[in-house]
Structure 1
């Protein structure tokens, strides 16, 4: 491993999230946090692809994939932030932290920098793979990455269109992919990080470090900063309508709908 390169990436991620903290404090807009995080991870992945010592063709493929991911996600969140501003998850944290919100937010964002480093580490392990390119695992990895990027983009577009309708003020989104998962965008985001296991696959034991990325992303999205605070917000704002949705639609993985239930508890 190129420890100096990893230290540089870690320093960059920590500095970027310190900048995200400063921008949030100045603007009061929480959405810029995830915008900056997305671009910071993308830059970290690009640095890893550029300066790792793996197969050059694989490194180019990795650079393109991680750059497309960062540009799409960062641009989407940035556009949403300009339109709406507040992210209910961060708003809730800041309200709960009270007078210590500033210092606790800084520490929280440094934890996000650590999580980002683990994700970039998976990209780095893929970029250090010196095996010939493309192998079958590489081709499968490319397919997974493309499907994940497309699925997340479609999910975000469907939700964005729903939010522009009058029904969005009182109803929950069940359009397109949202009929089969309450959070299809989160599912496809997790799916994207699974591709690095295939790019990194080699006889080296260190290549298994790439497995940390999808494990971490699943834990964060499903149990920590993704679904729990967002669904808590939806339960407060939509009440029984969202509880009914929880009973008939999977939280994370796409799957068949269970028997439709009205908010009043009656079967359709």
Structure 2
């Protein structure tokens, strides 16, 4: 229990420090959206610090390094993808709507309260299975393997979905709405992939450490799924997308989140 508490405190301090640095970067660049790049990096940092704490414990070393590798792969890929996509663009309209204006008008204090504190806490909370798994022994390896497989499915949905969307945007003869490949079966394959990844991490590092650890950390993937579907993900994006020509018809025949055969 002391090992878990130590890993959790170190993870909280790491997430807080990252958000402080990100807030200063946002003020210098006048863009709150830099926090989106820090989001993936925050999980990498927590996984790394938790692994360091785990080196002093009796936790399973093989599972510890697997979790670090998989979380780092996801987080670094996400940070790189968002950074590349943001080049040449200004502030994300979502953050201006949330804050009631651009950063230089509303002030850094409001952004800290509404964005940076919230995202820092979310990184710490969602990464609870990572923290527990770094200092715990493996209870059931088949569950860990199932988590690795689910994580792999999630990463495939993310990477393939992003690649298909990039190809669509580069096509001068593209249709008005992207409904090819994975996007034919779900309107948000990247968000679905994210959810699979974090349920996979929970299986590997949470439930894989025992049913008590699993129950204690199950709200972490639940929270991530909620963010992806309702809070800052699909539902919020849909408000804008529904104004585009052809998108309501696409939405009527295509599942929003879980991949399903299109209707009609």
Quick check: TM above 0.5? yes
Superposed, 1:249-264 pairs within 5 Å as 249-259=254-264
Deviation at 1:30, TM superposition (A): 4.4
**Aligned to 2:87, what secondary structure does the other structure show?**
helix
Superposed, 1:20-59 pairs within 5 Å as 20-52=22-54, 53=57, 54-59=59-64
Distance 2:91 2:168 in 1: 18
Distance 1:83 1:144 in 2: 35
CA contact (8 A) 2:100 2:106 kept: no
Matched, 1:150 2:175: no
Tell me the residue number matched to 1:109.
Answer: 116
Deviation at 1:182, TM superposition (A): 0.8
CA contact (8 A) 2:96 2:102 kept: no
Tell me the residue number matched to 1:15.
Answer: 17
CA contact (8 A) 2:191 2:228 kept: yes
Q: Which among 158, 168, 179 is matched to residue 162 of structure 1? A: 168
RMSD: 2.3
- The alignment's TM-score, normalised by the length of structure 1, stands at 0.86
Q: Judging changes above 3 Å, is the alpha-carbon distance between structure 1 residues 83 and 153 closer, same or farther for their aligned structure 2 residues?
A: farther
Moved more, 42-51 or 24-33: 24-33
**Aligned to 1:250, what secondary structure does the other structure show?**
coil
Deviation at 1:105, TM superposition (A): 1.8
CA contact (8 A) 1:31 1:78 kept: no
Gaps of 5+ in 1: 260-268
Distance 1:146 1:50 in 2: 25
Q: How many residues align?
A: 255
Deviation at 1:96, TM superposition (A): 5.3
Deviation at 1:95, TM superposition (A): 4.2
Matched, 1:228 2:235: yes
Gaps of 5+ in 2: none
Distance 1:111 1:19 in 2: 15
Distance 1:11 1:131 in 2: 26
Could you report, residue by residue, the CA deviation over 1:23-48 in whole angstroms, capped at 9, with x for unpaired residues? 22322344421111111111111211
Distance 1:152 1:213 in 2: 20
Q: Which among 134, 143, 166 is matched to residue 137 of structure 1? A: 143
Deviation at 1:204, TM superposition (A): 5.2
- The alignment's TM-score, normalised by the length of structure 2, stands at 0.87
Distance 1:94 1:26 in 2: 17
Q: Which among 95, 120, 130 is matched to residue 123 of structure 1? A: 130
CA contact (8 A) 1:249 1:257 kept: yes
Deviation at 1:250, TM superposition (A): 0.9
